[in-house]
Structure 1
Amino acid sequence: MVSLADIERDFAAAIRDQDLPPPPGTRGRCGEMPSRRFAIYRNNVHVSLIEALAATFPVVARLVGEDFFRAMARAYVGEQLPRTPVLIDYGDGFPDFVERFAPARQLPYLADVARLEWARSRAYHAAEATALTTTDLAAIRPELVPTARLGLHPSLRIVSSDWPVLDIWETNSHDAVVRPVDLSTGGVDVAVLRPDVQVELHRLAAGWRTMLVRLLEGARLADAWESAAAADDIDLAAFLGWLIAAGAITEVAMADGAESRR
């Protein structure tokens, strides 16, 4: 007897590959093999997923043009169907796919632009959280600050690239015309954050990425600073000032177990 898992596997394979016939057991109202109907259904699935990708990666689509993007997205759909019924979760593997998609290799920064757009999407749909204010943080005794662990906003994402992807995104996100960017300006670390309604992109100074990564790992503030200072001359006061202004701190856990939160 054919198992449900076998039926689902065959159905998914037929949806992915447009050269495959309808899966075994598929029948029309009169018992006929519904090849044409299934082809229409399969095409509708592909079109809806391509449109979902275009909505999530609009700058990638603008950089390569609609026809190229749809062809690339269709190839991705043929390789990776959604794992959940929620379309906003679809596309996590698209940046890596773009990186290995041979026709896109002439744009070596394209995959990182896709990573930035995926981070924006994840930040937009992340959980809500209330950021601590300067007043909240001023109540912490200064001698406890170095051993504090900072809880950061759940929307926070970090994107690092060898290319100026933030400039590329900012230049091409609000205009239908693709604008050139000086690629020789080098790479960038970007913090993606949604403290309120809008997703914000922040260009990180030297050492700030290391600080954020260590804090996200649960390191104490002093230990995070030590890790960052080993490679970069980091201004700790400027970093903390940015965290507060950006609304990135949602909790402070003290070494003695006390917590400060709004």
Structure 2
Amino acid sequence: MNLSEYQCQFLGFLFGETNSMQLPNADVYRFGVEAKAVRAIENSYPTVKTLLGPTVFQGVVVDYLRTIKKQSGDWSDFGWGFPSWIISHRISDQVPYLSDVARLDGYVSRAERRPFDEVNFESFSNIGKDLSECTLILNRGLELFRSTYPIVSIWEAHKSAEPRDTLSFAQAKRMIAQGRGQNALIYRTGWRGMAESISENDVAVLSHLREQQSIARAFAKNVLLEKNFAGWLQDMIAKGVIVGARTIH
């Protein structure tokens, strides 16, 4: 058997295409690769593991590994497509919100790794009386996420050792029964990723500001928010969601 034939046979064994392999320690090596895959996925998607339990989670990760056929030794980017892939997995028939949980986990994980902008307090002097001439600067590290499921409540509940005993679990259960979802704002406090449920008004405002629209235009249809603009802004600055202001005309 030449090297090319050996590699083809071994990769077929590694990814489950064949169950027989006449090579020393092949089972040990495959187990090691699968263990690394499980660790890599659980680091980025811890709530998914909690939802499924260790045994089912390991089986799903091994299915993912065999589907994408990872062959490099770099595990840093392993699992980037996991939330989309899991939609087609049979486990999603049992847990229909699993893909959205994975997406939220992924956003939180990335928020903890990527650079986060510091607040430039002096720049807020650019906010004048005419709010059509200035805009707010969003932190480049934040994410906005709409879900048809109460995704933040599910995520929060499963941070507890006893999810069913939490208020978040009760809220999620009630909202699922009512067919209601949540919008998520993902940001970071220190080095810890955070997810918070926000209103549709807040999503609209932050989306407009991300497009660098003026404060006046961003808040045009949100009269209630506009009346309490100072309080809203203070809260967003404290979270590091908004990091500055600038003139646009």
Answer yes or no: same fold by TM over 0.5: yes
Contact 1:151–1:252 (8 Å) recurs in 2:
yes
Counterpart AA for 2:206: L
Deviation (angstroms), 1:223: 3.3
Contact 2:15–2:66 (8 Å) recurs in 1:
yes
How do 1:96-111 residues align onto structure 2 when only pairs under 5 Å count? 96-111=84-99
* Aligned residue in 1 for 2:183: 189
Which shows bigger deviation, 171-180 or 70-79? 171-180
| SS of aligned partner of 2:195 | strand
Deviation (angstroms), 1:59: 1.6
Deviation (angstroms), 1:53: 0.7
* Aligned residue in 2 for 1:72: 60
* Aligned residue in 2 for 1:259: none
Deviation (angstroms), 1:193: 0.3
| SS of aligned partner of 1:191 | strand
> Which of 218, 222, 247 lines up with 2:240 in the alignment?
247
| SS of aligned partner of 2:219 | helix
Deviation (angstroms), 1:39: 4.7
Relative contact order, higher structure (CA 8 A, sep 6+): 2
| Pairing 1:142–2:128 present | yes
CA distance in 1, matches of 2:136, 2:190: 19
CA distance in 1, matches of 2:140, 2:71: 22
Percent of counterpart pairs with the same letter? 21
Decide whether aligned partners of structure 1 residues 52 and 12 sit closer, same or farther in structure 2, where only a CA change above 3 A counts.
farther
Decide whether aligned partners of structure 1 residues 147 and 41 sit closer, same or farther in structure 2, where only a CA change above 3 A counts.
farther
* Aligned residue in 2 for 1:128: 116
Deviation (angstroms), 1:250: 2.5
| SS of aligned partner of 1:87 | coil
CA distance in 2, matches of 1:220, 1:114: 34
* Aligned residue in 1 for 2:153: 167
| Pairing 1:202–2:196 present | yes
How do 1:1-262 residues align onto structure 2 when only pairs under 5 Å count? 14=12, 17-20=15-18, 35-80=23-68, 87-133=75-121, 136-137=123-124, 139-143=125-129, 145-175=131-161, 180-181=169-170, 182=173, 183-184=176-177, 186-226=180-220, 229=221, 235-236=225-226, 237=229, 238-256=231-249
CA distance in 2, matches of 1:246, 1:177: 26
Q: Deviations over 1:192-244 (max 9, x none)?
A: 10142222222212311122223223333333334xx2xx6651315433322
TM-score by length of 2: 0.78
Decide whether aligned partners of structure 1 residues 103 and 215 sit closer, same or farther in structure 2, where only a CA change above 3 A counts.
same
Decide whether aligned partners of structure 1 residues 167 and 78 sit closer, same or farther in structure 2, where only a CA change above 3 A counts.
same
Deviation (angstroms), 1:20: 4.9
Contact 2:101–2:151 (8 Å) recurs in 1:
yes
Gapped regions of structure 2 (runs ≥ 5): none
Contact 1:153–1:248 (8 Å) recurs in 2:
yes
TM-score by length of 1: 0.75
| SS of aligned partner of 1:48 | helix
CA distance in 2, matches of 1:249, 1:187: 25
CA distance in 1, matches of 2:224, 2:11: 52
